[in-house]
Structure 1
């Protein structure tokens, strides 16, 4: 799991650098950066969502995943946790955490790289670590401490995939990767809308979608 650990460390270091820069950036400039990141997030989300091979699976996983997330109250629990960690707005922390997590962790490069890391080949994640480290600087400078907290999610998500690869010695089928990427893209669009303050979408409650989309793809 060398690649996963390295990726997590670069996100932490990049986030710390971004938080230091944030102290020297005026609120007006921070808003400008947030708007730019919001548009970027929507654009990336649209690109990823178009990778679905079966829109019915995408819709079904979104509905089932969101239903379970709403019952579990994931967003509310994250907001309460963020309030204990920082005096900043709990919603801004959650938005920063989800933006970084979904950008860093949902996509073919992450999924294939993490499983290969478990199989003993960290090369993809090591290359990805450089990109995530640079991106986390910009994210943290604009979105704050939530980006730093996303490192825990990065470690948990990529670590789980690495363990999966190590235990099974196999890769996920391409169709499962495609649906996971597409559902993550839809969630990214929701985060982008939140960053642009167009509408409040409880994206955290949609996170179970990331579990159901590959499962439904494999089943059907």
Structure 2
């Protein structure tokens, strides 16, 4: 089932959000230790994906070019600005707690490398590990958010399903546009590049680094271009 990962992500948010409505407050120590455990699991998934690479040069060039593009477009800053604008917009109206919960949770769950990488992985390889892991993370975050922002957090399931499901379904159609021989190599290198981004997310979750992962997202697209050029030069 190609949308299994997306549906699991939605279910994780639903379960976490509902539990949060019935819990008064999650202790800070519990949140910290739980997030550390999740960060370690995310690192492991990223490592498993990254070591699959057969073309380290392709991976490296994709990251470098993608980083230049991402920094040039300032993707991370734009995402943060969008989140800040939404937060200020709804803070002005104290009666809009449902809208605030919906918008805040939606931005947290939708914007990020894990949603993109996970959806691509589900669509192209049929591997849902990243999205299932994201479901666990989002479930815990939804639990914490719903204790303060209420049931509006639960409505964030809708944009998550539409966003990740859309990317997943589009990714399944890539075989119609790309030859099988090229696609096999692309899947391997895209997975490895995505794995490195997942590792960066894990390191950020553990507060070891503050990598601007959103600025590296163009690397996933550049894998196809770099691999295409590399194949034609060597071929």
Maintained 8 Å contact 1:49/1:184: yes
SS at match of 1:3: coil
Which of these two proteins has the greater Rg computed from alpha carbons? 2
Maintained 8 Å contact 2:70/2:215: yes
Query: Which residue does the alignment assign to 1:140?
Result: 138
Maintained 8 Å contact 2:119/2:131: no
Query: Which residue does the alignment assign to 1:120?
Result: none
Structure 1 CA distance, aligned partners of 2:191 and 2:48?
Answer: 10
Maintained 8 Å contact 1:98/1:191: no
Query: Which residue does the alignment assign to 2:46?
Result: 45
What does 1:18-97 align with in structure 2 at a 5 Å threshold?
18-22=16-20, 24=23, 25-83=26-84, 84=86, 97=111
Name the count of aligned residue pairs: 198
SS at match of 2:54: coil
Query: Which residue does the alignment assign to 2:6?
Result: 8
Query: Which residue does the alignment assign to 1:121?
Result: none
The CA deviation at 1:215 is 2.7
The CA deviation at 1:158 is 1.3
Query: Which residue does the alignment assign to 1:112?
Result: 125
What does 1:166-185 align with in structure 2 at a 5 Å threshold?
167-168=176-177, 171=180, 173-185=183-195
Maintained 8 Å contact 1:18/1:137: no
Report the RMSD for the aligned CA atoms in angstroms.
3.3
Structure 2 CA distance, aligned partners of 1:97 and 1:76?
Answer: 12
**TM-score, normalised relative to structure 1:** 0.73
**TM-score, normalised relative to structure 2:** 0.69
The CA deviation at 1:31 is 1.4
Contiguous gaps of at least 5 residues in structure 1: 114-124
